Amino acid sequence: MSLPSKVRIVEVGPRDGLQNEKKPIATATKLELIRRLGTAGLKTIEATAFVSPKWVPQMADHAELFAAIDKLPDVTYPVLTPNMKGFEAALALGAREVAIFGAASESFSQKNINCSIAESLDRFRAIVDAAKAADVKVRGYVSCVLGCPYEGDVAPLAVADVAQALLEMGCYEISLGDTIGVGTPEKTRAMLKAVARRVPLKKLAGHYHDTYGMAAANIYASLQMGIGIFDSSVAGLGGCPYAAGASGNVATEDVVWLLRGLGIDTGIDLDALVDTGTWISKLLKRESASRAAHAILAKRAMQAAQAG
């Protein structure tokens, strides 16, 4: 199959990227990150999670943050909503898109959202029904599609079952999460093949964490299968609080570099994105996980030295 001519990137840095940070991050810093990402050309920026502050303290400012975003007219700012309480709070603040998040593994579902997969699907159905009535779009996530931190291997059919259930209840898109980044291209292909028998390829997104450095390879394998939507996180920020040791998502800078090399335009200003990744990494006192950002910064420094 030929590669998709267009790819949509869903920037998840402000949510997936920051949710696991131990030290509190000021709401103003998060807002500035969201603003810079919008300026760099990201059209979908997952802003926060309307989850319990007891479970994920870093997202406790969700309401204050979401209300204060200076929303650009052509940018969507989805938020995570695990239950009706989260959905109603997000709706009251004018959210136009929410995401529900299930898992292909029972243990992860219990650890992450304190219920079984079946119970989670019942909860989600209520959210989707309420969202439909309010004309709010719903994205569905499936976690642990290539492995679970508690159960190990996850069967592709288990992923397909949950993805199909999310589609049938009314999610417009299903994001397939390699939560702990254990996937390799052949495993990714096998999983996608199983899911694509139940969910149209154009409704699937790849959400790959980069724990073993395989995320870009898995994106390439997914592109070859016709997937045209990928989630990523500026500077590769992040990790999941309920998946110990998992690193952040693939860095958005690296995805843009990969796609650019394939002749696929994303409309994203890579230089502005590198600046944003450098800024937030400094602020969090960490190295950016983006290889492309490091290379671009080194090239800039060399050019400046030559010029000066």
Residues that bind ligand HMG (CB under 6 A): 16, 19, 49-52, 54-56, 82-83, 85-86, 101, 112-114, 141, 143, 177, 179, 207, 209, 240-242
CB of 112 to ligand HMG, least distance (A): 5
Please list, in sequence order, all residues whose beta carbon lies within 8 angstroms of the beta carbon of residue 304, skipping any fewer than 6 positions away: none
**Known catalytic residue at 240:** yes
Look at residue 187 and give the partner it binds from ligand HMG, Mg ion, none, a contact being a CB closer than 5 to 8 Å depending on partner kind: none
Q: Which of Mg ion, ligand HMG, none does 208 bind, CB closer than 5 to 8 A by kind? A: none
Reading phi first (left if > 0) and then psi (alpha if -120 to 50, else beta), residue 78 is in beta
> Out of Mg ion, ligand HMG, none, which partner does residue 52 contact, by CB within 5 to 8 A per kind?
ligand HMG
For the record, the structure tokens of 67 come out as 């209300």
In terms of CB distance, is 16 or 173 closer to Mg ion? 16
Segment holding 187, helix H or strand E: helix 185-196
Q: Which residue is nearest to ligand HMG (CB)?
A: 177
The nearer residue to ligand HMG, 38 or 86, going by C-beta atoms, is 86
DSSP string, 96-140: SEEEEEEESSHHHHHHHHSS-HHHHHHHHHHHHHHHHHTT-EEEE
Q: How many whole angstroms separate alpha carbon 43 and alpha carbon 33?
A: 14
Annotated catalytic residue, options 144, 148, 171, 240 = 240
Nearer CB in complex with ligand HMG: 231/253? 231
| 16 lies in the binding site for Mg ion (CB under 5 A) | yes
Residue 82 interacts, among Mg ion, ligand HMG, none and using kind-specific CB cut-offs from 5 to 8 Å, with ligand HMG
Q: Confirm if 197 and 162 have CB atoms less than 8 A apart.
A: no
Task: List active site positions.
Answer: 240
